[in-house]
Amino acid sequence: MRLFTKSAFKQALFCPASLYYYYDREHYANQMNEDDFLQALADGGNQVGDLAKVYYDVHADADIKVLDGQDPYDKPLEITSRLFKRDNVNIAEAAFRWKNCFIRADIIEKKGNHIHLIEVKAKSWNENVDSFVGSRDKNRVDSDIRDYVYDVAFQKYIIQKALGPGFTVKASLMMADKTVKAEADGINQYFRVVKDGDRATIVREPGADALRDSTWVLKPFDVDDLCDRIIAGTTSEQMDLMGCQFKEFVNEMSRQYVNHERHFCPVSERCFKCPFYSNEKTPGMLDGKRECWKEVAGFSNEDFFRPSVGELWCGDGGQALKKKLMKAEKHFLADVSADDIRPKKSKKSDKNGLSALDRRLLQIGLATGNEELLAPFKANLHDGVYLDIPGLLAEMKTAEHHWRYPYHMIDFETTAVALPFYKGMKPYEQVAFQFSHHIIHEDGRIEHLGQYINDKKHFFPNFEFIKQLKDVLDKDNGTIFRYADHENTILRAIRAQLAQSDESRKEELISFIDDITHSTDMEAKAGNEHVGKRDMVDLCKIVKQYYYHPDMKGSNSIKVVLPAILNSSKAIQEKYSRPIYGTVIKSENFTDSPKAWISFGPDGKVENPYKHLDTIASFLEVTPEELERFDTTHDIAGESIANGGAALAAYTKLQFSDAECTKALKEALLRYCELDTMSMVFIWEYFHEMTGA
């Protein structure tokens, strides 16, 4: 029998029906279990937990670990009971059971009969700005922090019940304090993330204990009164969230869980985020998501291949729209009319190109073949693909964004972790560790020319990053392109860091940043509005306004737009089916053998080039026997870096790695980032082909 843990409680808050699949994890696929190690590397949750143990001086004998093969409930309960005989003790992973409920607390600080429960989360908090309750309803737990506070409330409730009235329990939520600067370099490097079977675990490096005596970058924030109100059932969100009060919810969910009872609930927009589905990563596993839709919504096997409301573009109010459509039991795009998605109050848009409503109507029309919806877009449809050529040409020639050769395509890789990499940085402060740059000349020549990656440990890279970026972009006055807002946000963050620094070139570098960026929303709200003379052009915004391919469905991610673009252009397919990249087109990384970016899948469509990036292991200069050792000890050697999350994990891993693995990680990161800017080149080439501009 499985007991109702805090993870099961969290799952029940998300969806009571999913508890059945969560319980039977041997048979039901759960995509949240995939890439757990990479996620642990990227988000730093394990490192935060171990630093909390250092801060609270948890001794080895009070750090309760349960080894594989040991009873997961009785053994930790027995150790906890033994430790509780001490008057004063700090315990990690203390175990408590009440009825069918079982929890392991991150940190318990016991002083006589007074218990301090500390739940540790890899989340940032600034008590001068952030709030645990809503701005309008002070009795409503704020949705942005709700899952964490409810987690603590559940633990406090079980501990109180397990210990009885002779003990008092106070609850805190320990998070990264965004107001504090690190007093040491490489705090996170004291806590090396390694793979232990399917799990991530921590190896603590020598010297970590000294962090206890420095300023704490993690702080326990008091949530005790709020937890009491949740447990009492008096906070105002409970009926919306659980359909009942807290205690009733815990009792009923724990009963269903331990008895492995199945209780379906109505499908909603939450179902689109359900992780209990099977795919190629989980062959032979059962698909709980499909079972729910069949039972509750009456789906047939064929219905799962029909375009659903879940595919609808989420931007500009899309999530609320999905919720509304699901309440109306409109599950398929074919069920949706223009009136269903047209806002009650329509504002005249000051933007060129497709409005949010236009884009959704276009998406539905192309997905369903609805000629009535497609009628307004017919002039710009080319073989089933939407491209507004007149609008795109006008965009290129506006005074604001008059595109000038040479064109510069840039992409950044950055990280912001709870435990700062460098002295003087605050938790979750941005670190820009890599950029890639492609240049397109007026005569059509394309070059990968200029890149940066920081592979030095204990080195704050942001100012070196911006110096090298300036060197690359300052040679002419050509138009600079980014994809989405990330690059602008990062440059503005580096500008703020420069302003507070004693960097000798800071005025020059700030001026450069101001020239190619515009103020963020936060800066604008503070009255610091600014638009640079050479402000970067957002290629993602151009795509949203002027281009749509049915394969994109509701996504504008470059990883989705790229294969759509490649499948839109026979000319690009023909050009890049040949191995010209690295020879005819200069590359700084694909120099060992020329690259053909285009290959076709069994369905005859162009495959996503990111699928064909080499694994990290392929860059290790080792024998087959040594490679087997690397796969065991270096954890991600068998992975390829094909998305931003994997890049973050790789950079974090690089901070701990030996020279051989560092070299391989660096090579894989460079190639991934180069493909990001080459993807922007592909998008430009298609627009250039279609417009002739």
Can you list the alpha helix ranges (DSSP code H) found in 353-408?
A: 356-368, 371-374, 389-396
d(CA 667, CA 588): 11
The pLDDT-based confidence of 2 (bands split at 50, 70, 90) is very high
* pLDDT at 195 > cutoff 80: no
Residue 318, pLDDT > 50, answer: yes
Once rounded to an integer, what is the mean pLDDT over residues 679-684?
98
CA distance 238 to 243: 7
- Please state, in angstroms and rounded to a whole number, the distance separating the CA atoms of residues 550 and 359: 11
Across 566-579, average pLDDT: 96
Distance in angstroms (rounded) separating the CA atoms of residues 599 and 593: 16
The residues facing 435 across adjacent strands are 412, 452
Distance CA 349, CA 340 (A): 20
Of the chain, the percentage scoring pLDDT greater than 70 comes to: 93
- Annotate 90-120 with b (16+ C-beta within 10 A) or e (fewer): bbbbbbbbbebbbbbbbbbbbeeeebbbbbb
Domains within the chain, CATH numbers bracketed: 1-34+242-297 (no CATH), 44-232 (no CATH), 407-478+480-533 (3.30.420), 566-691 (no CATH)
Burial of 607 (0-12, 13-18, 19+ CB in 10 A): middle
Which whole number is the average pLDDT over 176-191? 90
Q: What is the mean pLDDT of the chain?
A: 91
For residue 657, what are the contacts with CB-CB under 8 A and spacing of at least 6? 634, 665
- pLDDT of res. 630: 46
Q: Is the pLDDT of residue 672 over 50?
A: yes
Residue 123 or residue 200, greater confidence: 123
Q: What is the pLDDT of residue 172?
A: 98
3-state secondary structure 135-150: CCCCCCECCCCHHHHH
**CA 539 – CA 679 distance, rounded (Å):** 11
Among 137-146, 160-169, 630-639, the minimum mean pLDDT is found in 630-639
> Could you tell me which of 584, 566, 565, 583 has the C-alpha nearest to residue 574?
566
The CA distances from residue 39 to 256, 438, 474, in Å, are: 30, 30, 37
For residue 21, which of 361, 222, 288 has the smallest C-alpha distance?
A: 288
Band of residue 631 on the pLDDT scale cut at 50, 70, 90: very low
Greater confidence (612 vs 517) lies with: 517
Residue 634: pLDDT band with limits 50, 70, 90: very low
- Taking residue 530's Cβ as centre, other Cβ atoms within 10 Å add up to 13
pLDDT at 89 over 60: yes
Whether residue 549 contacts residue 387, with contact meaning beta carbons closer than 8 Å, is answered with no
Three-state DSSP class for 99?
A: coil
- Contacts of residue 17, Cβ cutoff 8 Å, sequence gap at least 6: 262, 263, 264, 265, 292
* Region 399-414 average pLDDT: 89
What is the rounded distance in angstroms from the CA atom of residue 415 to the CA atom of residue 460? 12
CB environment 392-424: b (16+ within 10 A), e (fewer)? beebbeeeebeeeebbbbbbbbbbbbbbbbbee
Residue 581's pLDDT is 96
Residue 352: is its pLDDT beyond 90? no
Whole-prediction pTM: 0.90
Output 419 or 154, whichever has higher pLDDT.
154
Query: Does 151 have pLDDT greater than 60?
Result: yes
Q: What number is the average pLDDT over the span 361-367?
A: 96
Three-class SS of residue 293? helix
Closest to 681 in 3D by CA, of 408, 470, 453, 449:
408
What average pLDDT does this structure show over 485-502? 96
Number of H helices, E strands in the chain: 25, 15
Structural contact between residues 537 and 481, judged by C-beta atoms closer than 8 angstroms: yes
Q: Give the pLDDT score at 265.
A: 94
pLDDT computed for residue 661 by the predictor: 81
Work out whether strand 385-387 and strand 381-382 pair parallel, antiparallel, or are unpaired.
antiparallel
Distance in angstroms (rounded) separating the CA atoms of residues 157 and 250: 10
45 pLDDT band, cuts 50/70/90, is: confident
- Give yes or no for residue 88 having a pLDDT over 50: yes
**Half-sphere exposure of residue 378: CA atoms within 13 angstroms, side-chain side:** 8
Distance CA 432, CA 410 (A): 13
Residue 197 has pLDDT above 80, yes or no: no
pLDDT of residue 400 exceeding 70, the answer is no
Q: What is the pLDDT of residues 255-312, one digit of tens each?
A: 999 999 999 999 999 999 999 999 988 999 999 999 999 999 999 999 999 999 999 9
Give the per-residue pLDDT at 692.
86
Tokens at 264, concatenated: 């379906």
The kind and range of the H/E element at 20 are helix 19-23
Say if residue 637's pLDDT is above 60: no
pLDDT of 314 reads 84
Count of C-beta atoms within a 10 Å radius of residue 308: 22
The reported pLDDT for the residue numbered 633 is 44
**pLDDT, position 39:** 59
pLDDT of 665 > 90? The answer is no
